[in-house]
Structure 1
Amino acid sequence: MKWNWQSPDWPNFKWNRSRLSAAEEQFLLGAGIAIGTVKHLAEDEHNQLLVEVMSGEAVTTSAIEGEVLNRASVQSSILRQLGLASPDKRRAMPAEEGIAEMMVDLYRSFSNPLSDEMLFGWHRMLTTGRKDLADIGRYRTSKEPMQVISGRIGAPIVHFEAPPSKQVPAEMKRFISWFNRTAPQGKEALPAITRAGAAHLFFESIHPFEDGNGRIGRAIAEKAMPQSFGQPVLVSLATTILEHQKNYYEALERANKQIDITEWLLWFAGIALEAQRRSIAQVEFLIAKAKMMNGLRGQINERQRKALLRMFREGPEGFKGGLSAGNYSTITGASPATTTRDLADLAEKGALRRTGERKHARYALNLKQE
């Protein structure tokens, strides 16, 4: 046996449940925290969170496959598809429009059973505008082997070979049945991380589409996790995987050769927990933003407000190296003397924390203020 699907035990994956129990408990606890924290968001802030997480996942799940998308265009498309007003009238490219549409559909239909029709719909969205594919909105039909390869032409390295196309419909029927049986209300319900990780590997092992398997496989994992909690809990899975991209591909390659997937699930559990922490931090960041801006209402000028909002757009990590006086002047158009006064005032009011002196002074958002 070279690949897992060639094993006589396929697709009866095995894993050590006890080694995953601590991660499952931690993820369940984190989901409760995430759900509770989101309830503190006003409607506008909740919509902002939705758009930021979905656009982040859209851009990063594409980046994992080497496709660079414009985040602002993706956000604008998501806003339109959610029925929210978008001040950005830019025209999204087909790839940006398609992945945005898939993310919105994934969010809205998270509780629905998986089906061929749902997967075909996602594939059509992902391949919007593509003219180079023979099979769009259906499983692959090519007689050529479906391989994941690297290396130079003439001496390729085969990292994985999927089942022949003629086997795909039967394999997908089995996969979809398994996915729906292992849902929380199914006959063989599985814990959140275990189900999401196993589903992602199961799907990738079949590689049923001519292209787009990675993005759809990660979407399936992101569908599985919130189903365990009965509501669309946002988890920045693709964003986190991108930061561990090399390890991700290595872990998948090892798992594609085994029926015992304990090590793969342990690796995936670490990613899922990190993604969950990232999502919770994003919610807490939006709450801190609302608290700060409400507290400063009527106390700061328009320049200061513009600079703070620009800093918040950088996300929880903030400006790399901190905000300098030069950054502030660029953002607001203020003179050096006005910049010095504005920044000193924001620091005195507790909105910013300063490190360094004079030319080396840098400012960061003070989100820990009481």
Structure 2
Amino acid sequence: MRRGLTGTYEYSIAGGDTCQAFVPLPLPPRPALSLDADLQERLNAAHLALGRLDGLSLLMPETSVLLYSYVRKEAVMSSRIEGTQSSLADLLIYEADGAPGSPLDDVREVSCYVAALEHGRDRMRQGMPLCTRLMNDMHRRLMTQGRGRGKAPGELRRTQNWIGGASAASASFVPPPPHRLEHCLSDLERFINDQPERHPSLVKAAMAHLQFETIHPYLDGNGRLGRLLIPLILVSEGVLREPLLYLSLYFKSCRNDYYDLLQAVREHGDWESWLSFFATAVQVAAMQAVEMTLAITRLFTVDGARIRREARADEDALRLHHALFSRPVARRVDITAFNGQDAAAIDRGARVLTGLGLLRTVFGTAGEPIYVYTAYLDLLNREAP
């Protein structure tokens, strides 16, 4: 449905240029959403895929394994949209106090994404609603290190920004002026928390994400934080127990459609087309997460059986293999903390796993060995199952 312009334009100044900044109307849209049979079917399919993902996470022997890996994979993909070059291996080695193979600012930026998501999840578990204050706290952690660290972490912007183009005058989109941000975010916060009315969980996540991207309240990091809001909303809604759904890969692969649909909502009020795209993204991402979960479980089972068969069930190797299932890149101290193995036992197990081609060793900045479960890392690095 085309509702017409979903906001108002105001004159603003950016970089000495006069421009027209877009101020979105509060959610929900008016007239109300028109969920025809096709769109409802897409939303139902997305909900079904989310249910499978959430249910499968309960069957995992250790849910934290999946969460640890998927959070970091999403951090890499989301940051790549913003131009970083770091890989999942770079991030995990960096977290293990090693020396990443990509620029340090890149991998620090990705690490901050992990910290921001974990902070948001933990604060919500403590009873804090998803609100502007929490967004600011997450943004502060998101921008602590890396290329955005000097751009007012945790603070709403005080200057006009724009998207696309060399200047605001030639930009593809100009978000609200700074003096409008608090009001816009207050409206968004009320919508997320079911005021004035409740909306289905997926619809809420889709509309809140787009509205946040339209407001663009920070000097930098808006795209990453906007993508983080999606799994957190689904957790707050009880759709997922853990924030296991990540859409960055799908958005990256359909980047032009993504931006075109955002603009179509602003200019024409076509929320239904955006919801259809979003529902498909959720369905695809959830199905990929399910396939990845099954693949990880199969890998652990197959490799464990191989250790028992070819290494005569070597106890040190089996214990190390189990530890690396939880942390596919780990130092000796990490493994000891996990299962109590001492350095000698870890080294013995590492020799066995290396001989089977399951393990490689890299060395950190202080020369400390870092053990890498290669097949597991290769699996996580795949962009689609």
Partner residue in 2 for 1:23: 42
Partner residue in 2 for 1:208: 217
Deviation of the 1:295 alpha carbon: 2.7
Q: Deviations over 1:207-228 (max 9, x none)?
A: 1111111111111122112333
The 3-state SS of whatever aligns with 2:56 is: helix
Confirm whether residue 161 of structure 1 aligns to residue 163 of structure 2. Answer: no
Deviation of the 1:161 alpha carbon: 1.3
Partner residue in 2 for 1:234: 244
Are the aligned partners of 2:264 and 2:270 in contact in 1 as well (CA < 8 Å)?
no
- Over 3 Å counting, the alpha-carbon distance change for 1:227 and 1:76 in structure 2 is farther
Percent of residue pairs identical = 20
Partner residue in 2 for 1:147: 162
Structure 1 residue runs of 5 or longer lacking an equivalent are: 80-85, 321-366
Supply the distance in 1 between the matched residues of 2:309 and 2:78 (Cα, whole angstroms).
41
Deviation of the 1:132 alpha carbon: 7.3
Confirm whether residue 198 of structure 1 aligns to residue 250 of structure 2. Answer: no
Further displaced range: 99-108 or 2-11? 2-11
The 3-state SS of whatever aligns with 1:269 is: helix
Match of 1:277 among 280, 287, 304: 287
Partner residue in 2 for 1:306: 358
Number of residue pairs matched by the alignment: 303
Supply the distance in 1 between the matched residues of 2:43 and 2:230 (Cα, whole angstroms).
15
Are the aligned partners of 2:67 and 2:242 in contact in 1 as well (CA < 8 Å)?
no
The 3-state SS of whatever aligns with 1:205 is: helix
Partner residue in 1 for 2:15: none
Q: Which amino acid aligns with 2:375?
A: M
Q: Deviations over 1:179-229 (max 9, x none)?
A: 1116xxxx7332232111101111111111111111111111221123332
Partner residue in 2 for 1:350: none
Are the aligned partners of 1:102 and 1:126 in contact in 2 as well (CA < 8 Å)?
yes
Are the aligned partners of 1:311 and 1:319 in contact in 2 as well (CA < 8 Å)?
no
Partner residue in 1 for 2:188: 175
Are the aligned partners of 2:251 and 2:258 in contact in 1 as well (CA < 8 Å)?
yes
Supply the distance in 2 between the matched residues of 1:282 and 1:242 (Cα, whole angstroms).
19
Q: Deviations over 1:66-92 (max 9, x none)?
A: 233343343356x6xxxxxx5x54486
Q: Deviations over 1:273-332 (max 9, x none)?
A: 111111111111122112212332322254335279533432178799xxxxxxxxxxxx
- Over 3 Å counting, the alpha-carbon distance change for 1:122 and 1:9 in structure 2 is closer
Confirm whether residue 222 of structure 1 aligns to residue 235 of structure 2. Answer: no
Supply the distance in 2 between the matched residues of 1:117 and 1:192 (Cα, whole angstroms).
22
Q: Deviations over 1:253-282 (max 9, x none)?
A: 222223341111111111111111111111
Are the aligned partners of 2:77 and 2:249 in contact in 1 as well (CA < 8 Å)?
yes
Confirm whether residue 294 of structure 1 aligns to residue 304 of structure 2. Answer: yes
- Over 3 Å counting, the alpha-carbon distance change for 1:134 and 1:230 in structure 2 is closer
Match of 2:60 among 23, 26, 41: 41
Deviation of the 1:117 alpha carbon: 1.8
The 3-state SS of whatever aligns with 2:199 is: coil
Q: Deviations over 1:121-178 (max 9, x none)?
A: 1221122245774533111111xx422123xx47974221111111111111111111
Structure 2 residue runs of 5 or longer lacking an equivalent are: 10-22, 312-351, 361-372
- Over 3 Å counting, the alpha-carbon distance change for 1:313 and 1:264 in structure 2 is same
Supply the distance in 2 between the matched residues of 1:196 and 1:108 (Cα, whole angstroms).
19
1:91-130 matched pairs, under 5 angstroms: 93=105, 94-110=108-124, 112-129=128-145
Deviation of the 1:100 alpha carbon: 2.1
Match of 2:92 among 64, 70, 75: 75
The 3-state SS of whatever aligns with 1:113 is: coil
Deviation of the 1:38 alpha carbon: 1.8
Are the aligned partners of 1:147 and 1:158 in contact in 2 as well (CA < 8 Å)?
yes
The 3-state SS of whatever aligns with 1:148 is: coil
- Over 3 Å counting, the alpha-carbon distance change for 1:22 and 1:109 in structure 2 is farther
Are the aligned partners of 1:4 and 1:205 in contact in 2 as well (CA < 8 Å)?
no
Are the aligned partners of 1:127 and 1:136 in contact in 2 as well (CA < 8 Å)?
yes
TM-score, with structure 1 as normaliser: 0.72
The 3-state SS of whatever aligns with 2:157 is: coil
Deviation of the 1:120 alpha carbon: 1.1
Question: More relative contact order in 1 or in 2 (CA 8 Å, sep 6+)?
Answer: 2
Partner residue in 2 for 1:362: none
Supply the distance in 2 between the matched residues of 1:270 and 1:203 (Cα, whole angstroms).
20
Supply the distance in 1 between the matched residues of 2:24 and 2:217 (Cα, whole angstroms).
20
Q: Which amino acid aligns with 1:200?
A: H
The 3-state SS of whatever aligns with 2:356 is: helix
- Over 3 Å counting, the alpha-carbon distance change for 1:123 and 1:9 in structure 2 is closer
- Over 3 Å counting, the alpha-carbon distance change for 1:42 and 1:173 in structure 2 is same
Q: Which amino acid aligns with 1:17?
A: L
Q: Which amino acid aligns with 2:47?
A: L
Q: Which amino acid aligns with 1:238?
A: S
Are the aligned partners of 1:193 and 1:269 in contact in 2 as well (CA < 8 Å)?
yes
1:56-67 matched pairs, under 5 angstroms: 56-67=73-84
Supply the distance in 1 between the matched residues of 2:167 and 2:48 (Cα, whole angstroms).
51
- Over 3 Å counting, the alpha-carbon distance change for 1:242 and 1:23 in structure 2 is same
TM-score, with structure 2 as normaliser: 0.69
The 3-state SS of whatever aligns with 2:242 is: coil
Supply the distance in 2 between the matched residues of 1:319 and 1:219 (Cα, whole angstroms).
19
- Over 3 Å counting, the alpha-carbon distance change for 1:95 and 1:176 in structure 2 is same
Deviation of the 1:242 alpha carbon: 1.7
